[in-house]
Structure 1
Amino acid sequence: MAKHLKQTDIGAIVDIIRGWPTDKISWEAICEASAKVIGNTPTRQTLNAHAAIKDAYTAKKTGLKVHGPRTAMPSSLVVAAQRIARLQTENDELKMRNDKLLEQFVKWQYNAYKHGLKEHQLNAELPRIDRERTEDAN
């Protein structure tokens, strides 16, 4: 029987998906791998109900289709250490950028509320650009 997942369980499952070792990934395989970490086997529907898990799965599946599995071994430990350091720096930069974007979003959210904008107005589609239309310069 499926249980509700805690935030720690969701984080652990996302980590499992991000570190998926093979070139084939499926919900069933993730459910089996998750059972070892969280103590019981969640259902596909339980996993799919959480946006973080669903996004990680979609990103991994797309990445595997585009890039294939990433199992290239570095030529030495020095090269591996340099790569890890570079990736950690990049990860830190992306986290800072994400924090700034979240802060900007909160400001926009407050200002939209303050000026009476409704959610459907903020989510309105962008106008379509008709590039074949010409206007008279008269």
Structure 2
Amino acid sequence: MTKGRAKNLDDDAIGLIVGVLDGWSGKLTWDLLIDAVEKRLRVRYTRQALDKRARIKIAYQVTKARISKINTSKSRQKLSAVELVAFMQRTNRLEAENIRLRTENEKLLEQFVTWAYNAYLKGLTKEYLNTPLSRVDRETTKMHLREPENR
């Protein structure tokens, strides 16, 4: 029996994969990630398919750096009570910040969808909307100095 091609990665699948990376601890390789994704999503993707998606690639790199930092730091030492309290406070703050940022991200995505729909109604193409901004030529900008007022 030949295996078929894996289904295309959609936003939901990418979000789940990024979530797997956010909670990752221990050694991280593409093969280990592929195995974890297969267990979670019941679909096996290739390293190339995962690496091609910017969100997954960035999450992988950030997770790899985080794990490397943990392994090379002195975090394996026992924490004192004061350090533990500070760690818990920081963790709580980061969890609250994470919730806030997720909410902000959802609002921005909703706004983007609205803008995309309105642009579509006006006949604006994706290429037009992705046109880079004009460069600002700061060399030709001239400042007008105000003359001091006579008193």
Superposed pair shares fold, TM > 0.5? yes
Give the TM interval when normalised to the shorter protein. Answer: 0.5 to 0.7
Report the equivalent of 2:136.
Answer: 129
Q: TM-score, normalised by structure 2?
A: 0.60
> C-alpha distance in 2, partners of 1:80/1:2?
47
Change in 2 beyond 3 A, CA 1:112/1:11: closer
CA contact (8 A) 1:48 1:54 kept: yes
How many residues end up aligned between the 2 structures? 129
Q: What is the aligned-residue RMSD (CA, Å)?
A: 3.7
Structure 1 residue corresponding to 2:21, chosen from 17, 22, 28: 17
**Structure of greater Rg:** 2
Distance 2:13 2:80 in 1: 35
Distance 1:120 1:128 in 2: 18
| Shift, 1:131, TM fit | 1.0
Provide structure 2 residue ranges, at least 5 long, that are not aligned to the other structure: 145-151
CA contact (8 A) 1:2 1:42 kept: no
Give the alignment's TM-score, normalised by structure 1: 0.65
Per-residue CA distance 1:73-113 (angstroms, 9 max, x = gap): 75433333222211111001101110111111112112111
8 Å CA contact 2:34–2:47 kept in 1: the answer is: no
Match of 2:124 in 1: 117
Query: 1:128 Cα deviation (Å)?
Result: 0.7
Quote the Cα distance in structure 2 between the aligned partners of 1:12 and 1:2. Answer: 22
Partner residue, 2:112:
105
- Structure 2 counterparts to residues 65-104 of structure 1, below 5 A: 69-70=69-70, 72=75, 75-76=80-81, 77-104=84-111
Ranked by relative contact order (alpha carbons within 8 Å, sequence separation 6 or more), the top structure is 1
Q: Which residue of 2 aligns with 1:4?
A: 6
Match of 2:55 in 1: 52
Distance 1:128 1:109, change over 3 A: same
Q: 2:140 is paired with a residue of what secondary structure?
A: coil
Q: Secondary structure at the match of 1:90?
A: helix
Q: Distance in 2 between matches of 1:91 and 1:52?
A: 17
Q: Give the unaligned 5+ runs of structure 1.
A: none
